[in-house]
Structures are given as C-alpha cells and as structure tokens.
Structure 1
Amino acid sequence: MKSKLPRLFLIILGIGFLINLLQSYFTPLIFDEAYYWHFAKKMSWGYFDHPPLVALLIKISSFFFDGELGVRFMSCVLSTATLLILWNTIDHPKKNQYVVHYFVLAYSMTLLNAYGFFTLPDTPLLFFTALLLFLYKKFLEKPRLLWGIAMGIAMAGLMYSKYHAALVIIFILLSNLKLVFNKYAWLSVFIALLCYTPHFIWLYENEFVTINYHLFDRPNDPYNFNKYTLGYFVNLLALFGLTFPWVYWALFKTKANDKFTRALLFLVYGVLIFFFISSFNRRIQTQWIIVISIPLVIIVFRFMMENEVAKKWIYRMGLTNIALILYLRVGLVYEPMSPIYYETHGNIALAEDVRAAVGDMPLVFENSYRKAPMFAFYSGNTTYSLNNESYRRNQYSIDDSESKVQHQKVLYLSGRASNADLTFTKSNGSKIYGRYIDNFESFRKLKTLLDGPIDFNLEKEQTFQLYNPYDFEIDLSKLRFNVAYMTDFKIVIDRLPISPKPNDPNITSIGAKDTITYTFKFPEPKKLKDPKYVRIGIMENGMNYGINGKNTKIK
C-alpha cells in the first residue's frame, strides 16, 4: 500500500535527526570511533578488523564538518534513513494512526538508539539490513531486473559493513529456497560479488589478515556458563530494555503467513540460534545480535497495531526506556550527570595535558590501538601503537604508522610507572606514564615463519624463517627472540627466550625483502607442560617482544 508520509511522522523524524546531530557535535568520540577515524585517514578496500564502509562514512562526513560531527554526520543520516525505510516497508492500513507508537518502539531500542549517532560498523549494517528487507519485499511482489540489481548492491553494502552480515543474506535465502531457481536472485548474487571483488583482492594482497585474525588467531577462554551462555541471554534483554517481554511475545505470536514475514522470522530466529550455539564457544557481544532489531521493528509494530495489551505496555515501557536513554545520552556529554565513568569522559583534557607537556612530539602508546587514535584526534600529535605479545595485532600492525615515528624523539606512554619521566592523571584518577626515547626504532612488521603443525621435541633442532618486509636492511644484533607457549584456547602461558642461530654464521644483517633461516631448540616450558600452539616473537632494541609469528599448532 502506497501512501504519503504523515506530517507527524516527518516532524518526529526531523526532531530525532536534529537531536542526533546535536549529540554528535557535543559528545566526545568513543575509542572505537577514534580507531575508525584512523582508518579513514588512509582510505583502503579493507582494514585489519573490518571491511571499509565505516571508514568511508567518516571520510564523507569529514567533507561536510570538522571535529566529532565530521566523524558522525553520515551516521545521523543513515540512522534516519533506516527508520524511514522501515516505515515504508510496513504495509498496514492503520499504521498512519500509530506514528507516535512507531517511534516509541524504535527509539526505545537501546543500541538502535545509540547507533543513531555513533559511527560504528553496525550503523551501515542496520541501514543495509533495512534496505535489503525493503527491496526483498518489492522483489516478492514483482520479481524484475531493477529489484535484482538493487538487492545485489544492498547485499554488497551489508558485507562491506561487517562480515557477519552474511547471516542476514543466508537466512533470507533459507526462508525461500525457491530463490535458487530465480534468475533475478542469481543476478543479485552476481552483482554483490562483483561489487565485493575489490575487498576480496585486498584480502588476498594482505594474506587474508582479517579472516585469519577473527577465525584463527584470537585468544579465547575455556567455556564459562555465566560469562558465555548466560551473558548471551542478558544481552538479549539489554537490546530492548524494559520492553523486552512484549517484544519477544510479539515475536513468538507472529506466524509466517507470507514469504516476507517468513523471511523476517528466519532472520530473527536464525541469528538468535546461531549466536546461542556460538555462546558455547565464546563470549557474545551485544552488538553482534543487534541486527535482529531491524526485522523486530516490523514484527512488533505490526503486532502492536493488532494487540491492545502489547500496544499499551510497549508504549508505556518504551517511553520509560527513552527517558532513561536520554538521561544517559546527556551523561555522555556532561560527566557529573553520568551514573558511570564512560569512555567519552576525560580524554580531551588528558590529550590537552600531554600536548601542553611535550608539544607536537610523536606519541608511542604501548598496547593501545584505542588511545593512539584518540590522542591523534584531540591533540594532533603523530601517534603509533606498539603492540607486544601481551596484546593483539590491529590496524597499526599493517599500516604505515610505524614509519612516521621511526628515528624520532618520542614520548612512550604506558600504564607502567617504572622509568617514567612524566605522569598524567585522568579525571577518574587513572594514570598514564610517559618516558622519552631519543631515537625510537621498532621493527614490528618482521615476520617469523614456522612450518606447522610442528613436532614439539625439546631435543630436536627446529627451524624458522625470518622475513624482512621493510625496504631497508636490519642489523641482526638489534634482535632477540623468544617462544610463546599457548593452550588450546591460544592463551599464552609461557614466554621463554631462545638463542637461534642463522644457518649462515657469517650473516650479520637481513636485507630488504629478504628471508633467512634460523635453527633453534624449544626450551622446556615452566608452567604449561603440554602446549598446543607456539609462536616466535622478536624483541628489538630492548623493547618488549612483539607478535611476529602466527600461532602454530603442535602435532
């Protein structure tokens, strides 16, 4: 059913957009946003942690505004467009009578509200999920070339947002397997793959670094019911706040009476079941399941218009949710009103303190891909995150940030007070310590290559290759090596030094783009008697060992 947008709808939508713009302007960045702003400083078809669409949104925003709004403007636009698309997806003869109820439902969903202005990969994920559902509905009404092409572009947009967006596409397909016989559906797949080809190329050129990290290199913990599975169910409640009983009641009462509703139900239940099963393997983050908010807006709003009890209670509890969310949103800006110390608090003042103390000196952070971009944004200093074996690899491991601080006097910032030249205190009382390094030099891109699975024998001589990806040679006397022993869950238990020997004893340096072979013996583990994975790390110039090798499985 086609109808003009009600005037009240446009007024409330416009007010919501304006509030998000104001919130974007006055709220300091959160750490993830600063990290994605770092992505956008050098546009690429991919990044270490995510596909590139979040960086593109920031780049576009920066064309219109400076500061925080230059990071968030496009998120405000997309979140507003998402609500508009969802409204137009809902066919119901009475919907114009319940404009206020629609917005109460949508704005009461906690993360859907937050992503109205924060710039995170979930923001375009929600937009393209709504868009794909709208287009799929049109496709079901009349399959044709236009909708086939449009769905392909929407699917590519989903996959450029987050990798687990594949679940949206898969569950829509599973809801209607006859699509495999539809030529326009195949056209959609072809268009999506064609649009996604540049990212596939980027992954190949970067040794599938993102896939390897998410699937193979991330450490995990042994299963814990409270932390994993119970935590998953807590997240399901947190998504909807006080309205959760009626949201899930609406879901359970909705029947798949048509192909579109069937797709909505498959998407919600599919995501819920997928992450429930995943909760037996890892902790499920709330934002991983936020995509169910999109089909649930449609399902629950349709249910509200037919059920007086649900309409009454979702309206009441939704308004309460909105009041609480607005209070928390004010607390993001005005720290005294916040019930908790949030990550938007104190960073600007801290960055200004550091800037006042050292001027434009480059800043090197120990193990913090969060603080490095935050300080770069607010202080304007060149920054770098030096990641060691106690942390994880990130975008700073693969981009050119390291080269910008090489052989310069830097302030090295960490949480350790030893040898500190300067101490800075945040508004919550936490401290960060800095020491000067006159000639900073790191080689964190050096690679140690172990062929695995490896035979773990303390008496046997092993070999590994050292690869130098830099365009200059490196003096081997500056390097020290160690081996990390890990559990089944890739948790490092032992870190022990080794003294490998080059196969050619006359070699004193490794040339640019060159590889040399070392021989060594595994030292006896002190704590982990039966290691499952090993990794060779490198210390340069007396700094902590880095993450230079892949986690190699032991036979």
Structure 2
Amino acid sequence: SIFHIFGFTTTPDAPLFFFGTLFYFFYQQYLEKDKPGIAILLSLSLVGALYSKYHAVLLVVFTLIANPKLLSRKSFWLIAASTLILFLPHIFWQINHDFPSLKYHLKEREADHYQFQFTYLFLIGQLFMAGPLVGWFWFYRIVKFRPTDVFTRTLVFNFVGTIIFFLANTLKVAVQPHWTLIGFLPMVMLVLIALQPQHKPKWLQPILFLNLFLLLLMRFGLMLKNPVSMKIGVLKSYFGNPEWTNSIRQKARNAYVIFPDQFQNPSWYSYYTNSQKGFAYDSRFYRRTQFDIWPIEDSLQQKRIYYVTDAPLNEISADKLNTAKGIFYGHWIDQFRSYQKMQVEVDSAQIQISAGKTIPLQLKIKNEYAKPVNFSNAGQHFPVVLRAYVMQGDSMISNQMAEPDFNQLQFKPGEIKSYPFNLKTPLKKGNYNLLFSIKSPPFAGPRSSPVINLTIQ
C-alpha cells in the first residue's frame, strides 16, 4: 500500500523509491560482474537516492554490513569516490548554511520526553504500510526466510536493519511510517522470493484480492471525491485545494500570502497560483522548514502582506473566508516585520540553578541577513521584542521580555553582538526547556535560539 500512495503523491520519498530500485538492480549486476561501467551506474543511483533523502545512507551502511567483502574491491572505492564528488555540492551547501538539515534531524526534531505511543504507533504503521490485511504475513515470512546468497542477505540486512534503526528512533522522536520506505524495497523482493507457488498458503489469494479491493476503494474514493474520503484524516487534504486557493486569491490579489506553522498551505497556494506568493511563518510552536532557508522573507520586510489563519486575531480586523477547505481568516498587515534569520545563542546548552533565582545570561545575537537590521520601534505599528519562554512539555510556565535597551540594537550583515538578559527562574523544582524568540505581533515569534535544558534544583 505504501507504493500505491507514492504513485500520486509528490514527496522526496518518490524519487528515493526510484533510485533505491535502481540501486538494487545495479547492485545485483555488480555482484556478478565487477565492471567500471556497472560501478558508475551504481554510484549514480546512490547519488540520486542521497539527494532525494538522507535515509539513503542506510542503503550504504546495511549493504556493507551484509557484504563487507565489497571493501576489498578496487571498483568499490571508485563508487565511493564518484559518489562523494557528485554529492559535494550538497555538502558545501550544508557547510555554508551551518548544517540546517543535520541540526533539524539530530536535535530540533527530538521530543521533550519518550512516549510509548511513538513505539506502538510506529509498529502498527509498518504493518499497515505493508498491506492492511497481509502486512503481518509478509513480516512473518521474512523472519523465517534464510538467505542463500550475498544478494538476498543484503536484502534481509537492509529490511531488518531499517526497521530496527527507526524503531530505536522512537525512543526520542515520533517516527513517520513512510520513513522506512527505503526498507520496503527489499521487503517486496524478499516476499516474491519467499512466496514461490509451492510455499504459498491457499488462504492467501483471497486475502490478497480483498487487500487490493481496499486499496482500489480508497483510490476511487479520491478520484470520485467520495464524501467519506473527503472527511478522513490525511485523505481530505487532497480535496478542494484549487477552490481554496481561488477564495484566498480573490482577497489577496497580487500580495504575498503568509500561513502559520506549516509548509503545505503556502506550497499549495504557490502551486495553484503559478507563483511564489505563498510563504510559511514557522513559529516557536513549530519547526523550521525550507521557507526559513529560502530568501523569500528577506524581500517581504516592510511590505503589505495578507496573513491567513484558521482563527481571527485580536490585534487586527479580519476577512472571513468561506473556502472549500473550511473557514479561514485573512488579515492585512501593512508593514510586515519578522526576524526568522536572527539567531540567539547561549553559552551553555544546559543550565542548573535554584528555584526562584535570577540568572544573568550573556546572549549572542547574530544577524544572518545580508542587510542591516535595526530593532528600533520608531514609526512601527507593531513593536519587536525579545522574549524568553520557559516551557515544561507543551505548557508555557513563564515568559519574560527583554529590557527596553534591546530596541537600541543595530546590526550590520553578519554581525554578532552580546546582550545581557537576567532570567527569572521558575519557583518549582523540575526540568524545563528555555527558548528565546525575537517576535513582532501579530506573529507568535520564531525559534530564535536552540532549546536549552533548564534544571531547577
């Protein structure tokens, strides 16, 4: 069922699936014929997979674990060198942008604490992706399968290794079911190998037809806009996007339209208007997306924009938008002001202090923009402020605003300045998270700093 979904959904998983398939195709040939031409094709498929999604690294790791003798082949080092050379542009991009992808995957995505639902929902999701009715049987047959050659051993290591890797990740993050797609490629091949006609149980055929019927039912529900499908979780996101876009565009006209805390809505808006007028404002409640990296926000400063939310804001009047996707509210902001790229750093990632105390922090504020930044509120309708938020789980315990002298700060492009901040700590002992945000209403403020562990003793 997972492959069916990516037949009509555009995500990085679709090209990952394509290049992963090519990898296994050329890898099987490479095992039989150690030729430079096949080695180059194997390298190209691996590069394509890596550019699609970092999960492709698992292909390399588990393939080498399954077949360490590859290291003794001279052509293997040709594959490694050519893959590295072709991937260098992305590595340089990461270096020049301070490794945003690595920071996101290794730190920013982590949950505050482990939740058992991370694990059991992951396991249920894997069974469902393999097939709503037959997924359990595929897993069972693979567990019983015994590899007979290097290629099938590689398939087993990649499938089992991928599942175990992401299962371990559920200890610190909610793993999306489709992240294991790179492991489902070898699963399909192993199932086809294991289920020879003489080993196929009689009851399997009708179950397979029923499984296929359910998939077709879902597919036709999407095609025919079945009322039931239009109300089911993720499926409803496939409906009404052109009409929704048109309803907003009638009000926004040619202005940029900003949506809070998600990348899907601005992407849909840009796609259906054939423009780049959609933009995501990622607040401290959300995570960073590609919109935080693209130089769109820079060009919006002080311009008139249209801010679309799912609830009206108190600060400004709103247009009520009855769209195909529900009711939204549009707000005109005459002088857009945001500081998504301003970075706040604290010397320590962990702070320990007694309850009810005041701790002097020396913040380092860096201007990541290619132009000067001035925090002055003179002539501005909405003031810019620096706030410290103390959180415990999803609950905000306290927030504290910087002193008025913060608004005297001015920065040249790339400049770093120190700023003293006297933080008042919570009155109760416990573990908290501390986050700084440079915000200007009506926006909630971005994650201007990394999350700092605050322990009150």
Normalising to structure 1: TM-score of the pair?
Answer: 0.73
Residue of structure 2 in register with 1:125 after alignment: 16
Report SS of the residue matched to 2:430.
coil
Whichever residue aligns with residue 425 of structure 2, its letter is E
Report SS of the residue matched to 2:419.
strand
Residue of structure 2 in register with 1:10 after alignment: none
Report SS of the residue matched to 1:477.
coil
Whichever residue aligns with residue 425 of structure 1, its letter is N
Q: Contact 1:125/1:158 (CA < 8 Å) preserved in 2? A: yes
Which structure has greater strand proportion? 2
Whichever residue aligns with residue 234 of structure 1, its letter is I
Q: Which moved more, 1:165-174 or 1:372-381?
A: 372-381
Q: Which moved more, 1:347-356 or 1:299-308?
A: 299-308
Displacement after TM superposition at 1:160 (Å): 1.1
Whichever residue aligns with residue 483 of structure 1, its letter is A
Q: Contact 1:484/1:492 (CA < 8 Å) preserved in 2? A: no
Whichever residue aligns with residue 327 of structure 2, its letter is K
Residue of structure 2 in register with 1:482 after alignment: 387
Displacement after TM superposition at 1:380 (Å): 4.5
Residue of structure 2 in register with 1:186 after alignment: 77
Alignment of structure 1 residues 138-537 onto 2, 5 Å: 138-225=29-116, 227-239=117-129, 240-310=131-201, 312-341=202-231, 342-380=236-274, 382-418=277-313, 419-427=316-324, 430-453=326-349, 455-457=351-353, 458-478=357-377, 479-486=384-391, 493-500=396-403, 507=408, 509-525=410-426, 529-537=429-437
Report SS of the residue matched to 2:259.
strand
Query: Are residues 455 and 115 of structure 1, via their aligned partners in 2, closer, same or farther at CA, if it must alter by over 3 Å?
Result: closer
Displacement after TM superposition at 1:454 (Å): 5.2
Q: Contact 2:55/2:182 (CA < 8 Å) preserved in 1? A: no
CA distance in 1, matches of 2:429, 2:243: 47
Q: Which moved more, 1:129-138 or 1:491-500?
A: 491-500
Query: Are residues 454 and 254 of structure 1, via their aligned partners in 2, closer, same or farther at CA, if it must alter by over 3 Å?
Result: closer
Which structure has greater helix proportion? 1
Displacement after TM superposition at 1:519 (Å): 0.8
Q: Contact 1:500/1:518 (CA < 8 Å) preserved in 2? A: no
CA distance in 2, matches of 1:455, 1:244: 47
Displacement after TM superposition at 1:383 (Å): 2.1
Displacement after TM superposition at 1:464 (Å): 0.8
What is the aligned residue count?
A: 438
Displacement after TM superposition at 1:553 (Å): 4.2
Whichever residue aligns with residue 218 of structure 1, its letter is R
Query: Are residues 530 and 249 of structure 1, via their aligned partners in 2, closer, same or farther at CA, if it must alter by over 3 Å?
Result: closer
| Structure 2: segments with no counterpart, 5+ residues | 378-383
* Coordinate RMSD, CA, aligned: 2.5
Q: Contact 1:498/1:520 (CA < 8 Å) preserved in 2? A: no
Whichever residue aligns with residue 401 of structure 2, its letter is I
Report SS of the residue matched to 1:138.
helix
Report SS of the residue matched to 2:133.
helix
Instruction: Give the % identical residues.
Output: 23
Query: Are residues 393 and 276 of structure 1, via their aligned partners in 2, closer, same or farther at CA, if it must alter by over 3 Å?
Result: closer
CA distance in 1, matches of 2:442, 2:11: 37
Whichever residue aligns with residue 521 of structure 1, its letter is N
Q: Contact 2:222/2:229 (CA < 8 Å) preserved in 1? A: no
Whichever residue aligns with residue 411 of structure 1, its letter is Y
CA distance in 2, matches of 1:278, 1:443: 32
Normalising to structure 2: TM-score of the pair?
Answer: 0.88
Query: Are residues 392 and 278 of structure 1, via their aligned partners in 2, closer, same or farther at CA, if it must alter by over 3 Å?
Result: closer
CA distance in 2, matches of 1:461, 1:358: 45
Query: Are residues 243 and 223 of structure 1, via their aligned partners in 2, closer, same or farther at CA, if it must alter by over 3 Å?
Result: same
Displacement after TM superposition at 1:456 (Å): 4.6
Q: Deviations over 1:437-460 (max 9, x none)?
A: 122222221121222235455434
CA distance in 1, matches of 2:214, 2:259: 36
| Structure 1: segments with no counterpart, 5+ residues | 1-109
Displacement after TM superposition at 1:119 (Å): 1.6
Report SS of the residue matched to 2:424.
coil
